[in-house]
Structure 1
Amino acid sequence: MKKTTPYGARTSSRRGRANRTVIAALLAGTTIVTAPDMTQAQSYRFNSVQVDGNARIETGTVLSYAGIARGEAVSAAQLNDAYQRLVASGLFESVEVTPRGGTLVIAVTEYPTVNRIRFEGNRKLKDEDLAEIIQSKPRLVFSPTRAQSDAEAIAETYSQQGRISARVTPKIIRQSDNRVDLVYEVFEGRNSEVNRIGFVGNTVYSDRRLRRVLGTKQAGLFRQIIGRDTLVEDRLQFDEQLLRDFYLSRGYIDFRTTAVNAELARERDGYFVTFNVQEGQQFRFGAITVVSDYPQADAELYESVIKLRPGVVYSPTLVENAIARMENLAIREGLDFLRVEPRVTRNDRDLTLDVEFVLTRGPRIFVERIDVEGNTTTLDAVIRRQFRTVEGDPFNPRQIREAAERIRALDFFESADVNAREGSTADQVVVDVDVVEKPTGSLAFGGTYSTNSGFGIAVSFAETNFLGRGQRLNLTFSGAEANQTYGIKFTEPAFLGRDVAFDFALGYTETEADNVDYDTEVLAFSTGLTFPLTDRTKLNLNFGYKESEMKASTNATIGSVITGEVAQGKIGAGTIGYNFSYDSRETGLDPNKGVLFEFGQDFAGIGGDVQYVHTKTRAVAQTRILNEEVTLRASVRGGMLNYTKGSSRTMDRLAILSDYVRGFEPDGFGPRQIGTTGGGAAFDNALGGNIYAVASFEAEFPLGLPEEYGVSGGAFYDIANVWDVGASSAGAAGVVGDDSGAFRHVVGLSLFWDTPIGPLRFNFSKALKKESFDREQTFNVSIRSQF
């Protein structure tokens, strides 16, 4: 077995010459080298110089480092200098300089050659990752200094991942022919977690609220799974910027972080991080004016598109949005090189900021070209279409910054740097785009559970940059105890090179009687185009075809209504439709308010067996109060089916999901057919309705538990109803609840829990108003939906 030693631990066999030995400490051991006796001042003259022990290094090279020529008088100091030069060359493991009469003998031991490099003890980082960090390589001369530097670099890499106790020891295993195997023994240590994050100086926002802003998180219950609880110095610096952006976006223009202290626990297994802050006071917009130094620009016209009002809390984002609107107006008006300069006047007396937008003519600079580098998979066109500027257009720095943000928002790249430099002439610039790609595909296997559908499995493949074209492809399969779903969806975000999204979807769903009293099969196809109308509005035009069939189930007893619908067999419906959406939710850092409105209609009758109009709408509003500790949310939604040919079936009619209205089982309220069959078997079949309406009001608030638990509370109040079973089913024996006045009212409490498998929601509800035939559900678990 080869003996492994810390390198530098080798000792010289001439240890007995203590008066001629100089010990140089190298890493974990010592290397013994010998210098001439300097105890007496004397001079030497050598007729010859003899070099022993060199194999790879030429004798002339050794002599050149020594710098001693034959026949010259050499003092003891000069002889010592020669020795020091040989040692400093880094070529030799040991050096001896010995005068022997008229001969100077230089005996050297060369550093061995690295045969191979191994890593031991590493689990968190792979060998190939560590190999990229070090400078030592096989077939190169072994260098103690380089090996020690490599060990420090590896330890620093672990430290950046929060393992500050990591240690790396370089060792060598000597082989034949003056070769060594270089082994880096790694002790990774444990993560040094962030046990606590605190703030000093904050009065407006609580520690809990500010912790939600930071990228660094406290160690929580799932510290083995969540990796953001380790201390990384660069992340703390980024956290400082996040805090500043958070306060600036809320009008605190004087905010600053005076210090960030990270105190290591005595056990060296965790940190206590404290941010010392000064919030300052909140400012609002004062007077908003526009003046023009650009002869062709009408100040009043540009002021009309600003959409800023005095009294609104100041935010740099709102100022940037106003500048963008004015510059876009200039492009539509054909005014090149118009620039908008905001001039802010501070009024400390009333805590307002007057903003004067000055329209000026910028320098006549053009974009010479846009150079894209670093993309190996993503096509240049995908990156270039993020620019609203092309070669030859006037140069606008703000548009270039916005393009950089859009490129990063694609989420195709580890990093994306966009910079402008001077072009071939002084009036031209070249825009350099340097990207580093990252994997964009994912394959996921998982399980699902809900109180309504039971256990199931889910398999999905997603590629967000399909073939490097920026297209999205999703393949999904999910199966629970009562249903299976197969689907494929494809999206081209820039159809024909335009700002228009094209999508295509194909799906097949098969259900068994579990929460309903019949089996179904549905094959659906859809395609459409989505156009942006304004910054906040979109219009989707779509076409689809669906073929569906209801089947009798062996596990359920059905009445005459569903029996008649099952007898209809397969029914096809071709549809065209539209969907309009308005989204005023703020973008940027941690938005806290906004409105989402959607309205759409589908018209069936383009082929198929039925004709109808399906109208649907939804509106949601959210805001945060009490210094953003409490979230208030209100939503309304509704839908209507109006058949002009054929009639609706139970599977086609509208049902209210349990996510919309808590307190009832799926299909637990609304029209039903209740009775017994000719054979005396009882049935209770939910029929759904052609019209439904829902209103929901919610509040979410902290419970006072430690934030690392990820638990918060909520309360809700839901109002809903579904009615109208259609002419073919109305009046059937045993049909109840087919009226428009029986709105249900439900109140309840929620428990939100952020877990590694997703945000879970536990609802405890009580129906205040219901019908005798409704099926109440006082508890359910679901995945928390986001606004």
Structure 2
Amino acid sequence: MEKQPNNLANILLLKTYFKSLLTVTALLIAFAATAQQSNFNKGKKYILEDVKVTGNTNFSETTIISFSRLKKGEEIVIPGEDISNAIKKLWDSNLFSSIDVYLTKVEGDKAFLEINLFDLPELRDLKIEGVKKGKKEAIIKDNSLSKGIKVTENLITTTRNYLTNKYKKDGFLNTKVRVDTREVTDDSIQKARVDMLVYIDKGEKVKIQNIAIDGNEKLSDKKLKKAMKNTKEKNFFNFLKRSKFIRADFKEDLVNLIDVYKENGYRDARILSDSIAYLDNETIDVHVKLEEGEQYEFGKITFVGNSVYTDQQLQSVLRIRGGSTYNGVELRKRIADDTKPDAADLTNLYQDSGYLFSSINPVEVSAEGNVIDLEIRIVEGKPAYFNAVSVSGNEKTNDHVIYRELRTKPGQLYRKSNVIRTIRELGQLGFFDAQLITPNMKNFNTQDGLVDIEYQVVEKGSSQIELQGGYGGGGFIGTLGLSFNNFALKDIFKKEAYKPIPTGDGQSLALRLQASRFFQTYSFSFSEPWLGGKRPTQLTTSISHTKQFLFNPITRDADKDRRFNITGVSIGIAKRLKEPDDYFQLSQAVSFQHYDLKNYNTGLFTFGNGYSNNLSYTVGLTRNNTATDPIYPTQGSNFSVSAKLSIPYSLFNSTDYGALKEERDELNPQNPDELARIGEIDQERYKWLEFYKVKFKGDWYTNPVDKLVLKSGMEFGFLGAYNQDRGIIPFERFFIGGDGLGNFALDGREIIQLRGYPNQALSSQDGGTIYNKFSLELRYPITLGASAKIYGLTFLEAGNSFDSFRDFDPFRLKRSAGFGLRIFMPAFGLLGIDFGHGFDPLPGGVQKNGWETHFIIGQQF
């Protein structure tokens, strides 16, 4: 089937020349007819006196004569090569349906010619039937069926063959395509035009009823059919696996089938024949006949040509011993594993030491007695050094932002691991499509040991409009924000830099408004990832202001006369470390929040009119080596551990917090006078917040098979007090349950996602002081294109929060499971929906929670 287009092209070429031959023949007949009436002599040279153009064409006479290369006043032979070339030239233009050349008269040594031709018809209207509306545009584009195109026999034939093959590749083996044209008559338009109808009858998808394998005695049918990953029999229990026949997949599966034999020592196994037999229009049988050959084992393995590494070092990487069953697939992977760019194989061993020009070839030197002796022949070559290192494709991002992330520098020894790491670092920036970052090696100079490398990138939108919505804390939470993730602060006063904003320096600037019936939050943040431009030291600053109103859980109303305001500012520094490796980052931040309360009494603190201050220092250690796409990482891990600490004020002031605690415990909050004293005591306790907060979070990504990604994670958080007489503060608490929305800095609280339950429903009203959570999420990409990344997921989660360490039980968990969908668009961030089933009751309940629907807008996790 693959040779058909070539054969078709040959047929059309022959047809073109046949037309030329017919035309030349007609010309000779015309000349002969003219010769009977004049003194025309065949083969004589004549001066071309004049050429006229007749027929039906929209091209001017001058254009046609010029294109034919026939020039008035030139000497030509009639008939001869000049006229034959003119006819061929006109045919090759694919503009005419008919071409004739006549010798109209001869006057002495002067000849008069006439070119009679008709234009090919143009396409006026196209109708495509048999496919959905959304597919028609792609068909028109792929086959160049735009209005006004010349309709040739070649166009009709190639369109028919393209569509037939296209749908057969998708499993529609009975596809039939008909292309009809109808001439349009319109006296007002003096040109030939046609309407075209393309009718596609895909028929039903052809399924595979049976796969019959003949010739296998050593390996079972079951094992061989399992190896055919994309070609499956029609089976009720295989509803997750397709059984349609796709020839390209089938050919690939035949290779997989032979690989199974090679893995089991049968190196000579081969496919003798394969065929399909139609049972009806919807089902076929597949027949495969093979020859197994004999089983082999590895014999003596020697290394030849190695000087950089010893035989023992190479053997430790090859990990194949004499006497083991021959495995050709494993041998190939141990030499060079094409499926893993960072695999532990011999090729990467050399390439990661600078030997880009090395070559490694296993050669069988003996196969006596079914024992295969191998020589691993190595040509090491010279170490390679980078000569020129460049980047292309960045139109918005400034060069220095990219070059500072490169792990490959001019003059540096080539290491493949540095190339892979560079791809990862560029992908993690978030400014480029991580799937399309391509390192192009060029200008190989084996003599001098030099090579150039160009990183080709495709930019994507890095700024986002954040529209986030969800239900939490008793009401709808909405967020509107602008995030500029490739900002250029230095160009803020340059009018010409606004396109629509100054971009290119890799900085982040965000403006955010979050509101519900119960709170309002305004924030501004700015981040510079390379402070000073020489070191990967990140500076982050933020300012925020929040208004929170007292929420009545019974009436579900907010009392705006009872509120507290929070004003906060923070500044942080994060530095990339070199030890234990440069995936680690140490971050430090100082933050200050001022809490201003007005008639805001709760069970935790009762100074309804007062204030609290929170001055704290946060230190964190993170390690993130996920690769390569930050939206859809496929491997690696990301963990963080942090501690947030306040000053231990109780060590320095003279306040007797034990006495205050005893006095408070003796007071009756039902007595108005004593309640006022409780408020005074709490104001003293919380004037400056004293606490420590420890958190850990880890996510691990693995790629078990194909494009599936398994994300496993665990989290832990604990809020404690230095002085138990002061007690644990009413801020900075953990709220668990729901979609995780609404987690921007209210009173320092943190919203922990646990799908399958209402938002924050698994914590007490004032929040927990300790929590833990475990999760498993299986992801599969639908598309990872630049315009949108879409993946589906299923999940298992379990977690809980507790009011005190005494109540903490890491195994008393609220469990859930479900599935969802994520769509990432550069302009709007991550959008998604989850359906989670809670297997346990809410606190105080007796029945399991059941299904919950969670909408995710503008948040990634």
Q: Same fold (TM over 0.5)?
A: yes
Give the distance between the partners of 1:462 and 1:373, measured in 2 at CA. 26
Matched, 1:578 2:620: yes
The one-letter amino acid paired with 1:782 is H
Give the distance between the partners of 2:100 and 2:530, measured in 1 at CA. 70
What is the CA-CA distance between 1:150 and the residue it aligns to? 11
What is the CA-CA distance between 1:439 and the residue it aligns to? 2.9
Where in structure 2 are the equivalents of 1:358-507 lying within 5 Å? 363-397=382-416, 399-400=418-419, 402-404=421-423, 406-407=425-426, 410-411=432-433, 414=436, 416-422=438-444, 426-433=447-454, 435=456, 437-441=458-462, 443=464, 448-450=469-471, 455=476, 457-459=478-480, 461=482, 465-466=486-487, 467-471=503-507, 477=513, 479=515, 482-483=518-519, 490-495=526-531, 496-507=533-544
Matched, 1:745 2:748: no
Match in the other structure for 1:615: 694
Q: For the structure 1 residues 23 and 457, does the alpha-carbon distance in structure 2 shift closer, same or farther, using more than 3 Å as the test?
A: same
CA RMSD between the two structures: 7.5
What is the CA-CA distance between 1:57 and the residue it aligns to? 3.5
Q: For the structure 1 residues 636 and 128, does the alpha-carbon distance in structure 2 shift closer, same or farther, using more than 3 Å as the test?
A: closer
Q: For the structure 1 residues 273 and 627, does the alpha-carbon distance in structure 2 shift closer, same or farther, using more than 3 Å as the test?
A: same
Match in the other structure for 1:639: 718
Decide whether the 8 Å contact of 2:755 with 2:836 is kept in 1: no
Decide whether the 8 Å contact of 1:576 with 1:606 is kept in 2: no
Decide whether the 8 Å contact of 1:166 with 1:186 is kept in 2: no
Matched, 1:531 2:576: yes
What is the CA-CA distance between 1:291 and the residue it aligns to? 14
1:520-566 Cα deviation digits (max 9, x unpaired): 5544544331424445852331314242547569xxxx866356254
1:422-473 Cα deviation digits (max 9, x unpaired): 35x9314241416253432354575644576655555555555442344555
Give the distance between the partners of 2:628 and 2:391, measured in 1 at CA. 31
Counterpart pick for 2:645 among 603, 606, 609: 603
Give the distance between the partners of 2:519 and 2:252, measured in 1 at CA. 45
Where in structure 2 are the equivalents of 1:557-568 lying within 5 Å? 561-562=603-604, 564-568=606-610
Decide whether the 8 Å contact of 2:208 with 2:285 is kept in 1: yes
1:320-377 Cα deviation digits (max 9, x unpaired): 46989989998xxxxx87999999999x9xxxxxx99999986244322224344333
Decide whether the 8 Å contact of 2:438 with 2:457 is kept in 1: yes
The one-letter amino acid paired with 1:766 is D
What is the CA-CA distance between 1:421 and the residue it aligns to? 1.8
Q: For the structure 1 residues 324 and 208, does the alpha-carbon distance in structure 2 shift closer, same or farther, using more than 3 Å as the test?
A: closer
1:573-632 Cα deviation digits (max 9, x unpaired): 3434223447799999x9999876532112234999434322222456788999999989
Give the distance between the partners of 1:260 and 1:508, measured in 2 at CA. 72
Give the distance between the partners of 1:188 and 1:380, measured in 2 at CA. 51
Give the distance between the partners of 1:78 and 1:337, measured in 2 at CA. 58
Gaps of 5+ in 1: 1-21, 212-219, 222-229, 279-288, 331-335, 349-354, 673-685, 703-709, 725-737
Decide whether the 8 Å contact of 1:194 with 1:272 is kept in 2: no
Decide whether the 8 Å contact of 1:713 with 1:749 is kept in 2: no
Decide whether the 8 Å contact of 1:418 with 1:433 is kept in 2: yes
Give the distance between the partners of 2:92 and 2:356, measured in 1 at CA. 63
Counterpart pick for 2:63 among 45, 57, 61: 57
Q: Specify the SS of the correspondent of 1:56.
A: helix
Match in the other structure for 1:13: none
Give the distance between the partners of 2:570 and 2:254, measured in 1 at CA. 47
The one-letter amino acid paired with 2:818 is L
Give the distance between the partners of 1:239 and 1:511, measured in 2 at CA. 62
The one-letter amino acid paired with 1:653 is R
Where in structure 2 are the equivalents of 1:318-357 lying within 5 Å? 320=343
Q: For the structure 1 residues 62 and 419, does the alpha-carbon distance in structure 2 shift closer, same or farther, using more than 3 Å as the test?
A: closer
Match in the other structure for 1:569: 611
Decide whether the 8 Å contact of 1:474 with 1:488 is kept in 2: yes
Match in the other structure for 1:780: 852
Decide whether the 8 Å contact of 1:614 with 1:641 is kept in 2: yes
Give the distance between the partners of 2:647 and 2:622, measured in 1 at CA. 21
Give the distance between the partners of 2:252 and 2:541, measured in 1 at CA. 41
Give the distance between the partners of 1:663 and 1:85, measured in 2 at CA. 74
The one-letter amino acid paired with 2:643 is Q
Match in the other structure for 1:729: none
Match in the other structure for 2:733: 653
What is the CA-CA distance between 1:722 and the residue it aligns to? 1.9
Match in the other structure for 1:722: 802
Counterpart pick for 2:772 among 679, 694, 705: 694
Query: Structure 2 length as normaliser, TM-score?
Result: 0.54
The one-letter amino acid paired with 2:102 is V
Matched, 1:764 2:785: no
Match in the other structure for 2:114: 107
Match in the other structure for 1:88: 91
Q: Specify the SS of the correspondent of 2:70.
A: helix
Higher helix content, 1 or 2:
2
Q: Specify the SS of the correspondent of 1:752.
A: strand
Match in the other structure for 1:543: 589
Give the distance between the partners of 1:263 and 1:488, measured in 2 at CA. 68
Give the distance between the partners of 2:412 and 2:719, measured in 1 at CA. 50
Q: Specify the SS of the correspondent of 2:807.
A: coil
Give the distance between the partners of 2:570 and 2:201, measured in 1 at CA. 52
Q: Specify the SS of the correspondent of 1:564.
A: coil
Q: Specify the SS of the correspondent of 1:88.
A: helix
What is the CA-CA distance between 1:763 and the residue it aligns to? 1.8
The one-letter amino acid paired with 1:441 is S
Give the distance between the partners of 2:265 and 2:515, measured in 1 at CA. 51
Give the distance between the partners of 2:530 and 2:209, measured in 1 at CA. 46
Gaps of 5+ in 2: 1-14, 55-60, 212-219, 231-238, 292-301, 325-329, 368-373, 488-502, 650-686, 739-751, 781-790, 824-830
Give the distance between the partners of 1:88 and 1:632, measured in 2 at CA. 62
Q: For the structure 1 residues 701 and 135, does the alpha-carbon distance in structure 2 shift closer, same or farther, using more than 3 Å as the test?
A: closer
Where in structure 2 are the equivalents of 1:670-685 lying within 5 Å? none
Decide whether the 8 Å contact of 1:440 with 1:463 is kept in 2: no
Decide whether the 8 Å contact of 1:597 with 1:618 is kept in 2: yes
Decide whether the 8 Å contact of 2:342 with 2:348 is kept in 1: no
Larger deviation: 165-174 or 434-443?
A: 165-174
Give the distance between the partners of 2:851 and 2:692, measured in 1 at CA. 35
Decide whether the 8 Å contact of 1:758 with 1:783 is kept in 2: yes
Q: Specify the SS of the correspondent of 1:392.
A: coil
Q: For the structure 1 residues 472 and 361, does the alpha-carbon distance in structure 2 shift closer, same or farther, using more than 3 Å as the test?
A: farther
Aligned length: 669
The one-letter amino acid paired with 1:579 is L
